[in-house]
Amino acid sequence: MRKSALVFTVAIIVLSCSWQLLAWRHAPRFLGKFAAGTHTHTHTQAPEYRYETRYFQQRLDHFSFSDLPTFPQRYLISTEHWVGPQRLGPIFLYCGNEGDIEWFAQNTGFVWEIAPRFGAMVLFPEHRYYGDSVPYGSTEEAYKNATTLSYLTAEQALADFSVLVSHLKQNFSAQGCPVVLFGGSYGGMLAAWMRLKYPHIAVGALASSAPILQFEDIVPPQTFYDIVSNNFKRESVTCFNYIKQSWNEIAYTGQTSNGLERLAKTFNLCQILKRTGDLYDWLESAYSFLAMVNYPYPSEFLMTLPGHPIREVCRRIDGVPDGTSILERIYEGVNVYYNYTGEAKCFELDDDPHGMSGWNWQACTEMVMPMSSNQESSMFPPYEFNYTSFQEECLMNFGVKPRPKWITTEFGGHDVHATLKKFGSNIIFSNGLLDPWSGGSVLQNISESVVALVTEEGAHHIDLRPSTEDDPDWLVELRETEIRLIESWISDYHQKNNAIFDM
């Protein structure tokens, strides 16, 4: 038993080397390939939430009357704590993001933990084209080409959620029950957008780590990598500098004879290194994900990691004996991310960096998030986002032309404070400033009920994670504030309904 778990863990580690050139250069993925896999079941400490798994037939295109096949949308549902329609028990809907919904359910303890307090139904609908919710019969067919993929968009996903919850409300005679949206990362963007676009369906949204402003020129393109870099600098300036210097070392070594071989050996790769770029990707991926999961306690979200993992990475990079080469230092450091359990024998880099994946498709169509790396402030190799070459890559890889201005046309962003000051209500934008995605989110209150909850020491949607005994006070308080706000939305909803009813 133990052995097979071990083998599986190694398999995960192999999978983990998934940072892709395309994705990295332009739009870091939120969660890597983890989200798409089913590896989470091996986490022995994973909480056991009880739910039923069901399927609902959805239209492939909600916005036309094309005669397309429907597809089964998977959703997880629990009515265990729901007080039912007569007492107007709320419905908590987590907006599934780019991956297997079971994994998000496992990693969104907050919703499960507060549901009993609210007497709420819990729903986790899966995002179309991910997990089990694929059209055309199989993931292979769904991801075949640009034509089959063309309905993988955020607007269609929001319509899926809206149609599903309307259907369920009717089935449960629960038309009067308020729906509260939850979401983290891309799921948080969906939650915020759904509250804006479907206010008649949901009374409010907790959008955690939702970078709805990471489009066009709304925030500076270097924001993301600057925040990652600052995560390292705040722990150790020397560590930051070692990493900053390492890229040239890698490039230089790669150009020497047997250089790629030596790099493969230094970094304990299972196979030969074809180009230094692949190693760049592997390292950059580790640093970015480390910043996202820079939690104050040990976690197993993306990988098994200690608390304050970047502190540990820098402790190792800085702590090796004098005279150790920069590359050996780096190797010591990234071991914290890729092999904290010590179970990996060697590391395998992704050999299909341009492969079709759902998020890469989304990044090449709607989710165009320009990312640069600044010469001065970033520890990453300098890079300036170039839309023309980005578009070429998308055309080459997917046969699709991105629509870089569509998201701001459809959902806004440029003037979010002015627009939402009087329009819209009941949205929490929660962000931890260690999270590199926080720079693209809403960090200031917009109105009385469109609020920003910002924590200095928080990382990627930490508030949505299961509570632990190690939770710092600020995290406990953050969640209490969120609960109070959600309570106020629901009581406000009841008051308004009574007022209308009394009219």
Asked if residue 496 binds its own copies (CB under 8 A), the reply is: yes
| Identity at 466, one-letter amino acid code | P
Looking at 11-19, 62-70, 224-232, 318-326, which segment touches its own copies (CB under 8 A)?
62-70
For 3, counting Cβ atoms within 10 Å of its Cβ (0-12 exposed, 13-18 middle, 19+ buried), the class is: exposed
- Cα separation, 233 vs 215, in Å, equals 26
**Active site includes 41?**
no
Nearer Cβ to its own copies, position 384 or 415?
A: 415
452 touches its own copies (CB under 8 A): no
64 belongs to the binding site for its own copies (CB under 8 A): yes
| Least spacing, CB of residue 236 vs its own copies, in Å | 35
Cβ proximity to its own copies: between 449 and 481 the closer is 449
Select from 97, 133, 156, 223 the one that contacts its own copies (CB under 8 A): 156
Judged by CB under 8 A, the chain residues 125 through 154 that form the site for its own copies are: 146-147, 149-151, 153
Instruction: Reply yes or no on whether 417 is catalytic.
Output: no
Place of tokens 């009993």: 116
Residue 402 beta carbon to its own copies: minimum distance, rounded to whole angstroms:
9
* Residue 412 touching its own copies (CB under 8 A): yes
Spatial contact of 183 and 191, defined as CB atoms under 8 Å apart: yes
User: What is the residue-wise DSSP string for 213-249?
Assistant: T-STTSS-TTHHHHHHHHHHHHH-HHHHHHHHHHHHH
Residue 288, classified by CB atoms within 10 Å of its CB into exposed (0-12), middle (13-18) or buried (19+), is: buried
# of chain residues touching its own copies (CB under 8 A)? 56
Q: Do the strands 204-208 and 179-184 form a parallel or antiparallel pair, or are they unpaired? A: parallel
Q: Toward its own copies, which CB reaches closer, 144 or 405?
A: 405
Nearest to 243 by CA among 277, 276, 294, 283: 283
Catalytic residue status for 288: no
| Comparison of 214 and 253: residue with beta carbon closer to its own copies | 214
As measured in angstroms, the least distance from the Cβ of 491 to its own copies is: 13
**Best CA proximity match to 430, nearest among 464, 407, 470:** 464
- Binder to its own copies among 411, 439, 441, 479 (CB under 8 A)? 411
In angstroms, the CA 344 to CA 287 distance is 19
**425 lines the binding site for its own copies (CB under 8 A):** yes
Burial letters 412-430, b for 16+ CB under 10 A, else e: bbeebeeebeeebbbbbbb
Min CB(378)–its own copies separation in Å:
27
User: Rounded to the nearest whole angstrom, what is the least distance from the CB of residue 445 to its own copies in the complex?
Assistant: 12
Rg (CA), the chain: 23
In the complex, minimum distance from the CB of residue 500 to its own copies, in angstroms, rounded to a whole number: 5
> Segment 186-225, which members bind its own copies (CB under 8 A)?
196-201
Bridge partner residues of 91 (DSSP): 121, 179
| Catalytic residue, candidates 185, 372, 373, 438 | 185
CA-wise closest residue to 436 among 355, 369, 381: 369
Question: Pick the catalytic residue: 39, 127, 308, 460?
Answer: 460
Among positions 55, 63, 252, 387, the unique one binding its own copies when judged by CB under 8 A: 63
Strand extents, DSSP E, 373-461: 427-432, 450-455
Task: Summarize as ranges the residues that interact with its own copies (CB under 8 A).
Answer: 61-67, 146-147, 149-151, 153, 155-156, 159, 162-163, 166, 175, 196-201, 365, 400, 403, 405-406, 408-426, 449, 492-493, 496-497, 500
Q: Which residues are part of the catalytic machinery?
A: 185, 435, 460
